[in-house]
């Protein structure tokens, strides 16, 4: 799996039973047991049998997606999978940092627990929402947001798909303005917070304290930030992650940057629940092979490739 880019999903990729296919792998079961011990409650039960109502609570969702993603990566790594670069979408950056060795899984759990609670508290104190704008140029969406107070671009997901975030009234007004400028669709998202905007300033402060209490290591893999569009130094990571809560996720631009590098990835794997990033990558880079791992069959396909690569390397 030389030249591999591994991508970790964020909040919104959760689904009922998302860990069921992982249970046949001992290392995945061990990962859920480790997380449950750190958190003091059974996260494996939530990820296997929890309802969507339970899984969409911000304070639980983030921990669930993180744990499923790390468990999936450990299954792949145990089979011989390697990578050149790891990146994540928002929350997914914590999974990427665990995979690269910059952050221990235990510390990631503790930080993400604070992150989820702090974001939930901010959303309750200052309600907000988000909406996806489909079929309009990024610059046009930016112009719409610049003309309306309390709404910002939060995610550049793929060409023609941008997410806006802010107060409910402002997001509604911006959606209407985007439609009048030619957007094909404006889709309200089922969230109660204005994530990746200045509305999250209080959460960023709480998160900064939590990040200051954990150790970031040099790691053995390359981490690429999708808010900074670069590879941060290890010492920068606490600041980068705190700033991330109030900054737009520039996933489109980050992937385009990586693919223009001299040693560009030759393929990508989405590591964790769902296939959201797989779909985005197919719109960003149509010629790049991309594979999800969010269900049993998808994971088996990627595992077969990892095992083949490992055995081929050993035979040389």
Nearest CA to 88 out of 213, 269, 259, 257 is that of 269
pLDDT of residue 122: 94
pTM here is 0.95
Average confidence (pLDDT) over 7-25: 95
Residue 194 CA to residue 168 CA, distance in Å, equals 9
**Catalytic one of 21, 25, 102, 196:** 196
Is residue 89 among the annotated active site residues? Answer: no
65-95, pLDDT tens digit by residue? 999 999 999 999 999 999 999 999 999 999 9
pLDDT score at 312: 40
Read off the pLDDT of each residue in 182-195 and give the average, rounded to a whole number: 92
Q: Which two tokens stand for residue 62?
A: 């983030």
What's residue 311's pLDDT? 45
Instruction: Give percent above pLDDT 90 in the chain.
Output: 89
The percent of residues above 70 in pLDDT, for the chain, comes to: 96
Confidence of residue 45 (pLDDT cuts 50, 70, 90): very high
Three-state SS for 311? Answer: helix
pLDDT digits (tens, 9 = 90+) for 132-181: 999 999 999 999 999 999 999 999 999 999 999 999 999 999 999 999 99
Q: Tell me the C-alpha distance between 79 and 67, whole Å.
A: 19
pLDDT of amino acid 307: 62
**Which domains, ranges and CATH numbers included, belong to the chain?**
4-124+197-315 (3.40.366.10), 129-189 (3.30.70.250)
Residue 309's pLDDT band (boundaries 50, 70, 90)? low
Q: Is 21 a catalytic residue?
A: no
Q: What tens digit of pLDDT does each residue of 195-239 get?
A: 999 999 999 999 999 999 999 999 888 999 999 999 999 999 999
Residue of 13, 69, 90, 158 marked active site:
90
Mean pLDDT of the residues in the chain: 94
Asked if 59 contacts 65 with a C-beta cutoff of 8 angstroms, the reply is no
What are the CA-CA distances from residue 284 to residues 134, 156, 160, 241, 291 (Å)?
14, 11, 10, 24, 14
């Amino acid at each position: 799996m030389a030249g591999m880019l591994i991508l970790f999903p964020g909040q919104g990729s959760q689904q009922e039973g998302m860990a069921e296919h992982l249970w046949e792998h001992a290392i995945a079961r061990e990962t859920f047991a480790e997380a449950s011990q750190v958190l003091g409650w059974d996260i494996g039960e939530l990820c296997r049998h929890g309802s969507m109502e339970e899984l969409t609570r911000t304070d639980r969702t983030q921990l669930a997606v993180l744990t499923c993603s790390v468990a999936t990566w450990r299954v792949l790594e145990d089979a011989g999978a390697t990578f050149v670069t790891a990146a994540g979408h928002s929350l997914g950056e914590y999974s990427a940092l665990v995979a690269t060795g910059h952050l221990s899984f235990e510390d990631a759990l503790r930080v993400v627990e604070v992150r989820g609670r702090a974001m939930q508290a901010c959303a309750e104190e200052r309600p907000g929402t988000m909406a996806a704008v489909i079929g309009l140029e990024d610059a046009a969406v930016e112009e719409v947001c610049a003309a309306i107070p309390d709404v910002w671009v939060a995610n550049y997901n793929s060409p023609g798909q941008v997410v806006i975030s802010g107060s409910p009234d402002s997001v509604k007004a911006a959606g209407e303005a985007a439609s009048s400028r030619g957007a094909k669709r404006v889709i309200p998202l089922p969230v109660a917070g204005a994530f990746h905007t200045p509305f999250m300033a209080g959460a960023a402060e709480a998160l900064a304290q939590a990040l200051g209490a954990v150790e970031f290591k040099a790691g053995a893999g390359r981490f690429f930030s999708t808010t900074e569009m670069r590879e941060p130094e290890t010492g920068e990571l606490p600041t980068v992650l705190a700033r991330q809560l109030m900054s737009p996720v520039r996933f489109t631009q980050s992937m385009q940057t990586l693919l223009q590098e001299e040693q560009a990835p030759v393929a990508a794997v989405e590591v964790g629940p769902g296939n959201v990033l797989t779909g985005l990558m197919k719109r960003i880079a149509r010629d790049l092979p991309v594979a999800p791992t969010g269900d049993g069959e998808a994971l088996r396909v990627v595992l077969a490739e990892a095992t083949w690569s490992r055995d081929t390397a050993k035979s040389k």
